[in-house]
Structure 1
Amino acid sequence: MTEQFGQFLRSAGILVGLSVLFTWFGVYESGSPVALRFIMWLVTMSAGGVAAVWVIPTVFERQFAQQNVIVQVALASGLIALPVTASLIAFYLVLGGRVHAGMLPMQYLYVYAVCVVIVTGGLVVSRAQAAAPVLEAAEAQDVIARFMQRLPVKYRTADLWAVSSEDHYLRIHTSLGEELILMRLADAMRDLGGTDGLQTHRSWWVARDGVADVRREGGKLFLVLKSGTEVPVSRTYAPAVREAGLS
């Protein structure tokens, strides 16, 4: 619900921002009060936004999902331009303008061109956002792969579950067993920066994928690795563990 509300606020902010810009630059300047022109653009932008809520999923994800992206953008822009054009014409009349049949096609084409730019921009942004987690995951895998090169060959293709400190050594917990290497935990955590894991104790770092369960005993919290090994969670790192959704 919080994420949906945040998305709603971002969308509302964009609509208001565009309305302010169009009002400021005097698009369709008719000598009417600034407040009235702002309301005109806000309603018009809202009409386009509401239309986009239905049009974008219908065109890009359902009815025309298999079409070429150029066809999708053209179709989506054409559909969104319809209510936007109708809203503009209605307000243009309210603001004292005169409308004749010959201006309707040109008005629609103008709105259509603007919609093409907006839909294309939104598509680029959404695809970039969708690709970002994939790229981050790939980069994290590369980081882990480089770290695993420190282990004997038989462990290098294993899943990394956790790292624990033992004197001057680190015990590396993997899906293929455990191995000791000469390294400091601080250096290991630096090398593993950017991966999906966190420190749970002054002597433990845990990968999220390595956690199978959570156990509490006498007010103390333990993360249970897939190997059955229990990882202590100290009070210092408990908030980060909770924030990561692991407790």
Structure 2
Amino acid sequence: MQLFDMFGEPPQFTVHEMTLVLRSGVFLKYAAAVAVLLTAFDTHGYREAGMPLAANMLLWAVCVVAFISVYAAVVLAWFALAPGGRQLRMLRLVPNATAMAVVTVLVLAMASLFADLEFSRRVLLQHLPYNIALSYIFETLMFVFILPQADAALGLDLYRQQAASSAAPAERPPGQEPAEQQAGDAAAGFNGAAVVVLGGQPFRLDQLRYVKSEEHYLRISAGDSELTLRGRLADLLAQVPQEAGLQPHRSWWVARDAVAGLKRGGQSDLLLLADGSEVPVARGRRMHVRETVQAWLAGPG
């Protein structure tokens, strides 16, 4: 799934990854901070209208939880019902406005019970535009600052689509092919084997064991050699089919044939390779890695 925002950096995630983000400590702290800020600044004047502080705190806590729940439900429903297979593209304003419309009704209904406030269609229509604008501000702060932190903490690499897109070569005049394309053309003589180009050099896909990202370089293990070339892991991910390997960590890609087993731990897992190497498994990818490795080791049938 992808959610597009005004900054042109759409996060791409699965349902499992979305669940991990919503349960992460970074996101939960942010949600609690939003509820505290709304209570502290009394943005809607509920305490001024006679609402007790405890009731006001409860109201905003319910508001935040309800907004997150409805937002997630809209995304999941869209993912399940909208055409397009397993790909989903949605403007963030869609789940935001829907969730805030539902939450506005809930909050005003609760506020009318604890304060001298009218609960009517006129009041709802007065509050809704302001609430949507306020929620969009909080949501934008979450996408700009909180989501990247949760992404880094969980090792999910939610912006992989953006990285893959930025790795694509820019348009050039005819006859001026990039070095990667020239290397790829030169690699056509690899007996028809699948080839990937990293750092301007071609590699047979069936000879790659693993690729590790180190700052602006890639440490590539292929065949009997290991070398370091300038590049990004997105350069590899954009070229290899999904079934050819596994990304247990945002900095690693491991070929399927190189995997020998998995060492499970209470806090972290390690992917065991045939050459004796151990590759860390990000906490947010443990379930996916376990299922994938189990299926690979089980073999056909």
Give the TM-score taking structure 2 as reference length.
Answer: 0.46
2:81 and 2:18 map into 1 onto residues whose CA distance is 27
Deviations along 1:6-43, one digit per CA (max 9) or x if unpaired, are 63244433321210111122212324443332211001
Correspondences of 1:225-240 after superposition (within 5 Å): 231=275, 233=276, 240=278
One of 191, 204, 208 as aligned partner of 1:158: 204
Deviations along 1:127-155, one digit per CA (max 9) or x if unpaired, are 9964336627986xx8972274xxxxxxx
Q: Which residue of 1 aligns with 2:159?
A: 131
One of 38, 48, 51 as aligned partner of 2:57: 38
Asked whether 1:209 is paired with 2:255, we answer yes
Contact 2:209–2:255, Cα closer than 8 Å, also in 1? no
- Going from structure 1 to structure 2, the CA distance change for 1:120 and 1:62 (only over 3 Å counts) comes to farther
Deviations along 1:182-207, one digit per CA (max 9) or x if unpaired, are xxx7xx35x4786599xxxxxxxx97
Contact 1:82–1:108, Cα closer than 8 Å, also in 2? yes
What SS is found at the alignment partner of 1:40? Answer: helix
2:89 and 2:22 map into 1 onto residues whose CA distance is 28
- Gapped runs of 5+ residues in structure 1? 149-155, 164-171, 198-205, 216-221, 225-230
Q: Which residue of 2 aligns with 1:108?
A: 128
Name which one, 1 or 2, has greater alpha-carbon Rg. 1
- Identify the structure with the greater helix proportion: 1
Contact 2:67–2:100, Cα closer than 8 Å, also in 1? yes
1:80 and 1:27 map into 2 onto residues whose CA distance is 19
One of 15, 27, 41 as aligned partner of 2:43: 27
Greater RCO, 1 or 2 (C-alpha within 8 Å, sep 6+): 2
1:120 Cα deviation after fit: 6.2
1:3 Cα deviation after fit: 9.2
- Going from structure 1 to structure 2, the CA distance change for 1:57 and 1:207 (only over 3 Å counts) comes to closer
1:162 and 1:108 map into 2 onto residues whose CA distance is 55
Contact 1:44–1:84, Cα closer than 8 Å, also in 2? yes
Letter matched to residue 199 of structure 2: R
Q: Which residue of 2 aligns with 1:14?
A: 30
Contact 1:22–1:41, Cα closer than 8 Å, also in 2? yes
- Going from structure 1 to structure 2, the CA distance change for 1:243 and 1:24 (only over 3 Å counts) comes to same
1:14 and 1:78 map into 2 onto residues whose CA distance is 20
Contact 1:80–1:115, Cα closer than 8 Å, also in 2? no
Percent identity, aligned pairs only? 13
Q: Which residue of 2 aligns with 1:93?
A: 112
- Going from structure 1 to structure 2, the CA distance change for 1:92 and 1:46 (only over 3 Å counts) comes to same
1:173 and 1:5 map into 2 onto residues whose CA distance is 34
- Going from structure 1 to structure 2, the CA distance change for 1:65 and 1:38 (only over 3 Å counts) comes to farther
Correspondences of 1:51-70 after superposition (within 5 Å): 51-59=70-78, 61-64=79-82, 69=90
Correspondences of 1:176-191 after superposition (within 5 Å): 188-189=227-228, 191=229
Aligned length: 190
Letter matched to residue 22 of structure 2: Q
Deviations along 1:36-88, one digit per CA (max 9) or x if unpaired, are 322110011111111112112223x2445679955x734x3342123211222
Give the TM-score taking structure 1 as reference length.
Answer: 0.54
